[in-house]
Amino acid sequence: MQDAVKKSEYEVEPLGQSSGVCDCCGNETRLAWGFVHAPAGTVASYYVHWTAGAALDCHPANYDFIIGPWGEGASPADRTAVSLMHFENEDGPGVMVVDAGGRPSATSGLADHALDRESVVGTGMAATAFALFDTVFLQDTRLYK
């Protein structure tokens, strides 16, 4: 597993976005994706899915990360899918690890492994995933618009 990098060392490269319709409420859903780079190279891709105009207490946002090296010589065998959910409850906003196996990133072919919650919580991978979340949340200005 990859060691956590200080979030200040990460830089987001926004790429594409798309929209759809929420099955439960009919509101517009959005998906934004891109890469996260560190000084040594690309460390992850990300996909953020949310319901436009909906509060996080009703419709949490999903963050799917494909963590590992990208570029020449890298393959899906070098990468792992990790997923987080950004929510809000009576205690305020929060972020938690969720099982990546049920998320679209698990079947994308971009990573050979999709980690469940128990395999991430309390590990270096969790520190990496939360640092990636912080970076994407703060740097990708398309989110939650």
- What pLDDT was estimated at residue 1? 40
Domain segments of the chain: what residues? 32-139
- The residue-averaged pLDDT of 108-134 equals 96
Burial class (CB in 10 A: 0-12, 13-18, 19+), 91: exposed
Mean of per-residue pLDDT scores for the chain:
92
Those residues whose C-beta lies under 8 Å from the C-beta of residue 3, and which sit 6 or more positions away, are 124, 128
Report how far residue 141's alpha carbon sits from residue 145's, in angstroms, rounded to the nearest whole number: 8
57, 30 contact by CB (below 8 A): no
- In this structure, the strands spanning 80-89 and 41-51 are unpaired
| pLDDT tops 60 at residue 117 | yes
Q: Which residue in 32, 37, 36 sits closest to 15, CA to CA?
A: 32
Q: Does the pLDDT at position 25 exceed 90?
A: no
- Return the pLDDT at 7: 46
Neighbour tally for 80: CB within 10 Å: 25
Q: How many residues does the chain have?
A: 145
- Closest listed residue to residue 46, CA positions, set 136, 116, 111: 136
Task: Note the pTM of the prediction, 2 decimals.
Answer: 0.91
Share of the chain above pLDDT 70, in %: 94
